[in-house]
């Protein structure tokens, strides 16, 4: 495996402030604020059309933001830092009938790099004779990652890394990203909505909804937030719902007599008093957790 010695840089790798870009139809990103520290694996989490790809395009200079500022390695001039950045797009790209080796040679010459660093880490078959266009999307994505690693970048963006991959392929990619992060000190910004896979490597989550930045979560904070659920069992559920939704609008009916409310745990006594005062029988009320993936879905689709 190839291990690249770096200068031991610390501090902010990326700083985004008040980033905004809105299309004429009203879709876009508004007031995006987040930052990435050295050696983070930062995961921008959001559903389709949440603004993830648009944020990447703004950072990479593909589009010009209407508002806000972006600093890469504390430098507002993207062009000065461009060679320290790698990018893997959501849809893998290839050139006509080029093979893996053809594309490696082509892009190596473009970057002025002749060695095949990282090919062994990515397990790319340099003897493959088929054009890249006829290979699996996983191989195409690994080749795109190899291209992104040319020049030994300090920061790599991967848009929806696990999209379209099966379990085994996802496991391989997780291992590759983890290895590059730990052994080559590469900082990553990933996007997507697959918590189960991202949780294996992510050091922070930035949660997006409808083009806005909702919250930043560390794995520890996410675990804590997932405990914010109160379950109530009552035989008079239909009468209880109108009372609850006035003060606790984020809820989910689980069974004919069971509902859970997403709110701070300290509100359990308030909920009990509210229902009992209205003459509604409360059979049980208790604090319960929810799975992180489910919690994130509630944030981005239900709006906890």
Q: Is the pLDDT of residue 6 over 50?
A: no
Residue 77: per-residue pLDDT: 94
* Contact call for residues 191 and 160 (beta carbons, < 8 A): yes
Section 182-196 average pLDDT = 96
pTM of the model: 0.79
* Residue showing tokens 């879709």: 27
Closest CA to 216 of 29, 45, 26: 45
Confidence of residue 115 (pLDDT cuts 50, 70, 90): low
β-strand partners of 15: 35, 71
Per-residue pLDDT tens digits for 203-223: 999 999 999 999 999 999 998
Sign of CA dihedral 136, 181, 158, 51: positive
């Amino acid at each position: 495996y190839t291990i690249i010695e770096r200068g031991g840089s610390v501090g902010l790798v990326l700083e985004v402030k008040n980033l905004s870009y809105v299309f004429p139809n009203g879709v876009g990103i508004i007031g995006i604020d987040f930052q990435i520290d050295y050696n983070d694996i930062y995961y921008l989490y959001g559903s389709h059309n949440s603004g993830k790809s648009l944020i990447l395009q703004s950072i990479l200079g593909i589009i010009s933001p209407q508002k806000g500022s972006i600093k890469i390695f504390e430098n507002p001039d993207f062009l000065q830092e461009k060679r320290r950045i790698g990018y893997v797009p959501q849809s893998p790209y290839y050139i006509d009938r080029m093979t893996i080796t053809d594309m490696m040679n082509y892009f190596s010459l473009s970057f002025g790099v002749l060695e095949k660093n990282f090919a062994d880490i990515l397990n790319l078959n340099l003897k493959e004779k088929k054009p890249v266009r006829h290979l699996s999307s996983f191989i195409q994505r690994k080749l795109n990652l190899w291209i992104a690693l040319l020049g030994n970048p300090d920061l790599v963006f991967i848009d929806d890394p696990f999209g379209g991959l099966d379990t085994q392929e996802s496991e391989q990619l997780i291992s590759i990203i983890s290895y590059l992060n730990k052994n080559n000190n590469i900082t990553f910004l990933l996007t997507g909505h697959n918590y189960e896979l991202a949780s294996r490597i992510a050091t922070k989550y930035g949660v997006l909804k409808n083009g806005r930045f909702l919250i930043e979560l560390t794995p520890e904070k996410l675990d804590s937030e997932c405990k914010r659920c109160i379950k109530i069992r009552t035989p008079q559920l239909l009468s209880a719902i109108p009372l609850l939704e006035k003060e606790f609008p984020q809820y989910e009916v689980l069974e004919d007599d069971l509902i859970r409310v997403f709110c701070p745990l300290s509100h359990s006594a308030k909920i009990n008093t509210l229902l009992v005062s209205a003459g509604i029988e409360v059979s049980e009320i208790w604090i319960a957790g929810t799975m992180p993936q489910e919690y994130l879905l509630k944030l981005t689709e239900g709006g906890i």
